[in-house]
A = this chain, B = another copy of it.
Amino acid sequence: MADLASFARAVLRAAGADEESAAAATRAMAHASRLGVDSHGIRLLPHYATAIAGGRVNGRPRLRFEEDGAVARLDADHAQGARATYAAMARAVDLAGRYGIGAVTIRNSSHFGAAGAFALAAAEAGCIGFATCNSDSVVRLHDGAERFHGTNPLAVAVPVEDGRPWLLDMATSAIPYNRVLLYRSLGMALPAATASDAEGRDTTDAERAEMLAPLGAAFGFKGAGLAGLAEILSAVLSGMRLSHEIAPMAGPDFARPREMGAFVLALRPAAFVDPGMFRAGMARYLAALRGSPAAACPVMAPGDREWAEAERRDRDGVPVDPTTLAALAALAGRYALRMPEPRPGAG
């Protein structure tokens, strides 16, 4: 990963990012690539380089915070999303240090990246972290027949003594959109109740899938409601664009800022309960969960699968799919950089 990360930083610097922006974007991509969330991993590097070089994303932003009690508003000056969000979470953690809890809305940000990366940053600082954003419309409403919400993720991380944080990073759609693209290229049928055709009817035909279903299948009002929560916290509470108002991530316009909002929150456990009691409570909960009888596969806590994957990848390297590998080679050519040699794979 170190080789890939150095390359990513160098590409972003060459595309026009300042040191902090390049480091933050690389940190978020490395998080996702390590944990096996390849949709938000190094695969995004060409996109970020294009967005910075084109001017959609400001590679040298001046972040401005305004505080009001335990709350802050960040105007991110059209920063790369991870640059804005890591800074916002650091401020939320700082507020939680002073007030027990801290929340920050982000204005004028851009593509969020892996929400779990930012929740995790809070957990690494000893706080419970929560991060959410809205994103390009691609998910229908419950009973809906058009793309309305984004996949609007909710991520929560909780510190665990002597262990990896409890880490939930979930889209509020049934599946991510790139799963549809993957199934198309594999010629496979989608799982039931995960996607709909252009009229909003359920389809398992990846070729006909025009939009995603909200999480919950027949109970999709729950997934749609959670997507709405993400929308309200990240777009309405920041005064930014709703999902269906955001210019498409894929362009063609790479010059104009997308004016995206986001929301982060940190809670300091010691403000609520004796720290020893909190640690013991998490340990007791996780031991009970991991020891719970399983029907088939072993029972896992949120994050267990991802941390195991990170261990594998730290040992074996991060696999990179052929499309991304070709895009990285093009970037190496464009910016006259030494091409890294990641492990080829499905990514």
What chain B residues lie within 8 Å of A83 (beta carbons)? none
Say which residue of B73, B215, B282, B294 sits within 8 Å of A219 (CB atoms): B215
Could you mark each residue 93-130 of chain A with 1 if its beta carbon is under 8 Å from any beta carbon of chain B, else 0? 00000111111010000000000000000000000100
A201 within 8 A of B: yes
Cβ–Cβ contact A158 & B271, under 8 A: no
Contact yes or no, B100 A295, CB < 8 A = no
**Residues A299 and B239 in contact, CB atoms below 8 Å apart:** no
Q: Is A150 an interface residue (CB 8 A)?
A: no
Give CA–CA (A228, B299) in the complex, Å: 13
B73 near A289: Cβ-Cβ < 8 Å: no
- For A202-241 the 0/1 string (1 means CB < 8 A from B) is 0000000000000111110110111011011101111100
Number of copies: 2
> B residues within 8 A CB of A219?
174-175, 215
A340 near B: Cβ within 8 Å? no
Chain B residues lying within 8 Å of A99, measured Cβ to Cβ, are 69-71, 99
Report B-chain residues with C-beta under 8 Å of the C-beta of A288: 148, 242, 244
Chain B interface: which of A1-9, A10-18, A56-64, A138-146? Answer: A138-146
Given A105-B273, A274-B239: A293 touches B145 (CB 8 Å cut-off): yes
Q: Which of A44-52, A192-200, A323-331 contacts B (4 or more CB under 8 A)?
A: A192-200
